[in-house]
Structure 1
């Protein structure tokens, strides 16, 4: 009898889950795949926090963009991944996303440190199987876009720490520099110093917030 791998699949498109199930059933390792499905953050929350499901799943495959569960402040797959780490620390986490923005991918890796991160436009059935087999063998698997996007950022980690990334995101949302202290636990002088770091990283000697945002978008950061 083949060994069974228990997988929780979380995606708001049932057809995607069915596709993943079919693909994984063809794995070369001979595993039988047992799947449980959830289509939104609330359903996933209920499964993950159920005491009977503690460390029950070998792997969780979850989409980054999902219908939120506002009552518990669970707004996306990243929040669910952190929940899995809390309730089932031995479960491996694979995040699938349509996002290609470098900061989003970078944030996922920094905050969640998943066993796998795959951009949906990257992978074929063959690559999904390759990722599955690597993760089963305790390897980390990132798809091509993730690797390419993170290569430069990870080599300049000091420029894009949590605060600097938050600052870029807030600026892109239209928050003015003078109002940033209201949104961040930083003084105005600290914010100005960090903005200099960001401009250095982006290759901007002088420029406005709009110039920073324009260059960040050009580089696919936001």
Structure 2
């Protein structure tokens, strides 16, 4: 049985490695691969009429296609969901930041999400077999970092959630004490906790609102 796979990565050696590894799959699939090295080339393939693929491997960080506002593998994944709705999406990334991984899972819901430093040839084959059988595969760093991120919900107690909600409603920080039984200094300390939770080193109220929306909190 033949499986058509699109692989997108700006490192040709990585693509060759993936192709060789998948050729050793134990399910008897013949892997027919198409490759692209940047967002523009991938865009042309994905949006081509009558283009069909069973699986699409996407690197997260790729040279952008600025004319079409395609800046990453995540943007390409959204295209895949539109133009190749039956294709299983596999995101591969060198990023291990919890929020990036969480957002990929939340926004794309890929069949597979693997941090490149995590997996060996054997693990890639294991992930491939799980995905072929309609399972979801997350590599070790993905599982651990998302688990840690979600555990930080202790930061979002009732007051912090109220602060986020009021900011999202357009209430300015200086006006928050009139809505909450908290002093302005306490509110500022809580905003530091909120920014820490969102992974924002420095940021204003708009940054807090943006991150809260990304996580579906407001």
TM-score range, shorter chain: 0.7 to 0.9
Cα deviation, 1:19-51, whole Å, max 9, x if unaligned, reads: 100000000101000000000000000000111
TM-score, L = length of structure 2: 0.74
The 3 A distance-change label for structure 1 pair 196 and 128 is same
1:114 corresponds to 2:110: yes
Q: CA RMSD in A?
A: 2.9
Identify unmatched segments of 5+ residues in structure 1.
165-180, 211-222
* Corresponding position of 1:199: 193
Instruction: Work out the CA distance in 2 between the residues paired with 1:63 and 1:194.
Output: 39
The 3 A distance-change label for structure 1 pair 21 and 201 is same
Report deviation, 1:103: 1.0
- Bigger-Rg structure (1/2): 2
The 3 A distance-change label for structure 1 pair 187 and 159 is farther
* Corresponding position of 1:168: none
Report deviation, 1:153: 2.6
Query: Which one of the candidate residues 48, 60, 65 is aligned to 2:61?
Result: 65
Runs of 4+ in 1 over 2 A off after TM superposition: 152-160, 185-198, 200-203
CA contact (8 A) 1:40 1:68 kept: yes
The count of residues paired between Structure 1 and Structure 2 equals 180
The 3 A distance-change label for structure 1 pair 153 and 198 is farther
* Corresponding position of 1:189: 172
